[in-house]
Chains A and B, each alone.
Chain A
Amino acid sequence: MNGPKSLILMLVALIIPSILVSLWLSNAKASLEQAGDTSSEIAVASVAEDEYCTPKLKGILRRVAGACGLLQEGGRGCQPANAKQVAAMSGDDFNALFKPLSHRAKIIQFDSAQVEMDEFGSAAVETAWSDQRGASFFFVVARASADGDQIFNQQLSQKRAEAVLTHLDQKFNDPDLKKQVGLLWLGEEYAQLGEEFCTWSRSREGECSIADINRSAFIAWIDCAI
């Protein structure tokens, strides 16, 4: 154990870890400089865009929604004639637009000549509303059966659509309601539902005639980024 030997031993013991640490730091520095931005590979949160959202469907929905005042603040709802005009299609084609929504839509049924929802109707509206997921627009398309006066049926369907909106407003007091809900009232003269819609999710069980299914408000979230 003499001086020079100790010194050499100490230097060796000191230099080896120093070289290692310097090397590791240098590698980390180089790796940091070379690292790309991996954050761009991660998905960004967005509203839903379902498979049925074809450009054609979206175009029509946008025209309908715009014409009905949904895309602007304040106005909401549109006259049956307007809906027919902006959709520029037959009633059957109009209904066909909503067929991909069979898993999302609910049909709220009303009594003849009535605009009040029963408890099952209210519950169905709440369930449908709370299942928004990534959808951007909530469509309420109210109708009336062909029984009675055409003008009365127009007013009836309008009040049915508004009954849905009023219930949502009272139940959820949601500030986004006015930006997301679009009302259409079609009366009896346009896009009447066929009996095949009786198999969809309805607020009432049991018998279902053409008249029953059209005394209704069709409600659904639309999973399209319109």
Chain B
Amino acid sequence: MSLESGVDLTGEQPTDWSPRGKDPVAPWLWASAAFALLAVVFSGLSTADFIEHLDRQVHSIHCSLLPGASQQIGESGCRTVMMSPYSSLFRTSLWGGLPISLLSMAVFTYLVYRGVDFALARRRKKKLTAFLVVAWLLPLGMSLIYGFISYSKIGAACKLCVGIYLTSTLGFLCALVAQIKQAKGEDVGYDEFSTGSPVPFYLRWFAEGCLFVGVLVGLHLMGAPKVAKATEGCGRLVQKDDPSGIMISLGGTGRKSVALLDPLCPACKGFDERLNASGLRAKLELQAVLFPLDQNCNWMVKTSLHPGACAVSEAILCQPEKANEVLNWAFAEQESLLAEAKADERALRKRITERFPGVQGCLGSAKVKNKLNKSMRWAVANALQVLTPQLFIGDRRVCDEDTDLGLEYTVASMLALPEGGTK
């Protein structure tokens, strides 16, 4: 069905925009298409980054509004956002899930097409451009929602995402201006649109949009790498019992699980945030085994990767009933605690005692040091890697590669297995 065989949307007489330079609406349509194209680039880069990580390895990611700018490999807002559970859908049934950026790419590609198609039209109807305004409401609305999530839930912003939010807003405004200009009576209907309703056109264009999304989603579902190892795990605990009472309950009901944690390890903090955000934490009866990567108490590290981690671990062991409170505080204050310990560990110990007076007399004592040592010896007994975080569901170890993007899929798959067995 082409526009020429359409219906009259306004009841007015059609105008043939000739010569084309006098068309007051087309520039705004072209502008909206240009912003959509820019958004395609941004969401395309995000999608490429996301898909690249489906090989379960660490890669650099694009983190600039300038296409082609250098990539970042370390921690950044872009990485935090990408690893957050809000970056994709259906994460428990597909490793990594279906990236939101892919949907975004599909929608913006469609808006490029629709904008160009309308701009190229020799004759245009008021309500045709109204469709474009409504279509732009989708990315605009999603931008508002995701901007709010970035600010309130994730606490980090991704530059490419900000680019998408901006182009969504500007694209929407261009479409709106086009519609306003169109509605000022400068245009009239097609001869061919003499009768009938615009609904069939809207439905057709909506279906086209769905086709764009459907094709890309279908390609992703068919082509995404299958990761069998994620469910099998990477090794098992050989001595999961706890005769020395070193495991700290972190709450939850469900499958017994153990997390090897360092309270001053940024990766552990990120892991904790992802696990909480995934909604799967409640399905795990989680216990923590402390494994500070701090040379002060851990003989397995050559240098103190996280100075002060021994002191914070002692504080947790001193008040196991307040483990969650101390751990959350350590995660929240991680940077300042690390800096303080690096300068003077005694100052850190004083700060801990001031914040948690209950640890006084216990922190630094022979007993708690002995207990912390046993905590690390539990790792020795199980021949664990000198690495945090590590998560064991039952006695099955979640592979390190599955603790970020594939966390939900892996945990959900492991929880679906019978306890201690295989599917």
Given A1-B122, A21-B220, A24-B48, A45 contacting B367 (CB threshold 8 A): no
Q: Which residue of B1, B3, B44, B116 is within 8 Å of A17 (Cβ)?
A: B44
Q: Do A22 and B219 touch across chains, with their CB atoms under 8 A apart?
A: yes
- A25 close to chain B: CB less than 8 A: yes
Q: Do A39 and B380 touch across chains, with their CB atoms under 8 A apart?
A: no
CB < 8 Å A-B pair total: 155
Contact residues in B for A176 (Cβ distance below 8 Å)? 244, 374
Contact residues in A for B369 (Cβ distance below 8 Å)? 130-131
Chain B, residue nearest A127 (CB): B366
Q: Interface on A for B, CB 8 Å cutoff?
A: 1-3, 5-6, 9-10, 13-14, 16-18, 20-22, 24-29, 31-32, 35, 38-39, 42-48, 126-127, 129-134, 171-172, 174-176, 223
- Bound complex: CA A223 to CA B420 (Å): 36
- B376 close to chain A: CB less than 8 A: yes
Q: Do A5 and B120 touch across chains, with their CB atoms under 8 A apart?
A: yes
Q: Mark B320-346, 1 if CB is under 8 A from A, else 0.
A: 000000000000000000000000000
Q: Which residue of B122, B380, B399 is within 8 Å of A47 (Cβ)?
A: B380
Given A1-B122, A130-B369, A174-B370, A14 contacting B215 (CB threshold 8 A): yes
- Bound complex: CA A131 to CA B366 (Å): 8
Known contacts A9-B113, A21-B216, A132-B373; 5 additional CB pairs below 8 A are A5-B120, A6-B117, A13-B110, A13-B212, A45-B380
Segment with Cβ contacts to A, from B53-61, B63-71, B158-166, B168-176: B53-61
| Closest chain B CB from A24 CB (angstroms) | 4
Q: Do A9 and B385 touch across chains, with their CB atoms under 8 A apart?
A: no
| Closest chain A CB from B181 CB (angstroms) | 17
- Bound complex: CA A197 to CA B128 (Å): 96
CB-defined A-B contacts under 8 Å, sample of 5: A13-B212, A18-B215, A32-B55, A43-B385, A43-B386
- Bound complex: CA A9 to CA B370 (Å): 72
Q: Chain B interface mostly helix, strand, loop or mixed?
A: helix
- B384 close to chain A: CB less than 8 A: yes
Segment with Cβ contacts to A, from B101-109, B249-257, B264-272, B348-356: B101-109
Q: Chain A interface mostly helix, strand, loop or mixed?
A: helix
Contact residues in B for A126 (Cβ distance below 8 Å)? 366
Size bracket, chain B contacts:
35 or more
- Bound complex: CA A176 to CA B245 (Å): 12
Q: Do B299 and A1 touch across chains, with their CB atoms under 8 A apart?
A: no
Q: Which residue of A2, A42, A47, A129 is within 8 Å of B366 (Cβ)?
A: A129
- B238 close to chain A: CB less than 8 A: no
- Bound complex: CA A21 to CA B103 (Å): 12
8 pairs of A and B residues whose beta carbons are closest in the complex: A1-B121, A25-B223, A3-B2, A130-B366, A134-B299, A13-B113, A31-B55, A32-B55
Contact residues in A for B380 (Cβ distance below 8 Å)? 45-47, 134
- Bound complex: CA A127 to CA B369 (Å): 9
| Closest chain B CB from A168 CB (angstroms) | 10
- B133 close to chain A: CB less than 8 A: no
Contact residues in A for B234 (Cβ distance below 8 Å)? 39
Q: Do A1 and B118 touch across chains, with their CB atoms under 8 A apart?
A: yes
Q: Do A129 and B370 touch across chains, with their CB atoms under 8 A apart?
A: yes
Chain A, residue nearest B40 (CB): A17
Contact residues in A for B113 (Cβ distance below 8 Å)? 9-10, 13-14
- Bound complex: CA A21 to CA B216 (Å): 7
- B112 close to chain A: CB less than 8 A: yes
Chain B, residue nearest A1 (CB): B121
- Bound complex: CA A17 to CA B377 (Å): 52
Contact residues in A for B377 (Cβ distance below 8 Å)? 47
- B387 close to chain A: CB less than 8 A: yes
- Bound complex: CA A29 to CA B225 (Å): 5
Q: Do A21 and B102 touch across chains, with their CB atoms under 8 A apart?
A: yes
| Closest chain B CB from A184 CB (angstroms) | 23
- B75 close to chain A: CB less than 8 A: no
- Bound complex: CA A5 to CA B215 (Å): 21
- Bound complex: CA A38 to CA B113 (Å): 44
Contact residues in A for B223 (Cβ distance below 8 Å)? 21-22, 25-26, 29
Contact residues in B for A46 (Cβ distance below 8 Å)? 300, 380, 383
Contact residues in B for A9 (Cβ distance below 8 Å)? 113, 116-117, 120
Chain A, residue nearest B383 (CB): A44
- B400 close to chain A: CB less than 8 A: yes
Contact residues in B for A44 (Cβ distance below 8 Å)? 383-386
Q: Which residue of B118, B216, B299, B384 is within 8 Å of A18 (Cβ)?
A: B216
- Bound complex: CA A43 to CA B384 (Å): 9
Q: Which residue of B52, B56, B297, B373 is within 8 Å of A24 (Cβ)?
A: B52
Contact residues in B for A45 (Cβ distance below 8 Å)? 300, 376, 379-380, 382-386
Q: Do A172 and B56 touch across chains, with their CB atoms under 8 A apart?
A: no
Q: Do A25 and B57 touch across chains, with their CB atoms under 8 A apart?
A: no
Q: Do B105 and A42 touch across chains, with their CB atoms under 8 A apart?
A: no
- B80 close to chain A: CB less than 8 A: no
Q: Do A28 and B215 touch across chains, with their CB atoms under 8 A apart?
A: no
Contact residues in A for B365 (Cβ distance below 8 Å)? 130
